[in-house]
Amino acid sequence: MNLILLFEEDFLPDGRQVRLTGRRLEHVRTVHRAKTGDELTVGLLGGRIGSGRVLRLDKEALEMEVALDRDPPPPLPLTLLLALPRPKVLRRTLQTAASMGVKRIVLLNAYRVEKSYWQSPMLGEEALREQLVLGLEQARDTALPEIELRPRFKPFVEDELPALAGGTRALVAHPAAAGPCPRASEEPVTLAIGPEGGFIPYEVEKLSECGFAPVTLGERILRVEAAVPALLSRLF
């Protein structure tokens, strides 16, 4: 937790002080081991970042006087279409995507996505948000990504994807692709990443019809949780 994410409801009526309990209090007590007077990095969800001076820290509460004086890091101009991975991998990948500044994530079905993954409690609104918050806190960001669930591949690709990817450089990560993943893109990107085992040829074709160019990081096939940071860091 490199930034303590604050919510409107944390603020006392004066609008300058916050009072935190629960997970954030525990973390500041046991990991940061802060003392009264210390300055901690804080940020308001959807707003600016700054510092919080510790006024009180004990078993009951953490109280800080907060000054929000700068903007969070800029977002990554990338929309991520991710074939739904298994829940454990989803958790880590969402954290990483949020840390790296992705602001729109579509979790998509694909032939090689196990049907049971769509029943996972990880896909509940609160559970998804929890992972995103962890990612923001890690990277000192405050802008929560949006997640959309699309459990049907074909209608999504045919009806929604052309508009979603319009005006962006559309790429599908595909280990067998001929072209290398571009470096240091100056345009916004829509990036599709398949499931373990990859998109099947029909899916790559449907994505190609929407203008997605298959690109590769090389002949080494990476797990999804490594492919996401590797691709994002190559692209921007």
Which residues contribute to the site for its own copies (CB under 8 A)?
2, 73, 92, 95-96, 99-101, 138-141, 183-184, 217-223, 225-227, 229-234
Q: Which is nearer to its own copies, 197 or 201 (CB)?
A: 197
User: Among the residues of the chain, which ranges form H helices?
Assistant: 22-27, 87-99, 125-139, 153-155, 161-165, 201-209, 224-235
Is the CB of residue 173 less than 8 Å from the CB of residue 215?
yes
Q: Which is nearer to its own copies, 100 or 189 (CB)?
A: 100
For the beta carbon of residue 39, count every other beta carbon within 10 angstroms. 14
Query: What is the rounded CA–CA span in Å between residue 93 and residue 222?
Result: 13
Is the CB of residue 31 less than 8 Å from the CB of residue 71?
no
The CB-of-111 to its own copies minimum distance in angstroms stands at 15
Q: Which is nearer to its own copies, 59 or 183 (CB)?
A: 183
Of 20, 90, 85, 13, give the one whose Cα is nearest residue 52. Answer: 20
The CB-of-219 to its own copies minimum distance in angstroms stands at 5
The CB-of-9 to its own copies minimum distance in angstroms stands at 26
Tokens of 112: 């090689």
Is the CB of residue 205 less than 8 Å from the CB of residue 51?
no
Query: What is the rounded CA–CA span in Å between residue 100 and residue 85?
Result: 19
Q: Which is nearer to its own copies, 69 or 219 (CB)?
A: 219
Q: Which is nearer to its own copies, 55 or 221 (CB)?
A: 221
Query: What is the rounded CA–CA span in Å between residue 221 and residue 116?
Result: 24
Tokens of 166: 């319009």
Q: Which is nearer to its own copies, 114 or 159 (CB)?
A: 114
The CB-of-112 to its own copies minimum distance in angstroms stands at 11
Residues linked to residue 79 through DSSP beta bridges, in sequence order: 104, 190
Of 138, 202, 137, 131, give the one whose Cα is nearest residue 172. Answer: 202
The CB-of-182 to its own copies minimum distance in angstroms stands at 11
Q: Which is nearer to its own copies, 91 or 206 (CB)?
A: 91
The CB-of-91 to its own copies minimum distance in angstroms stands at 12
The CB-of-218 to its own copies minimum distance in angstroms stands at 7
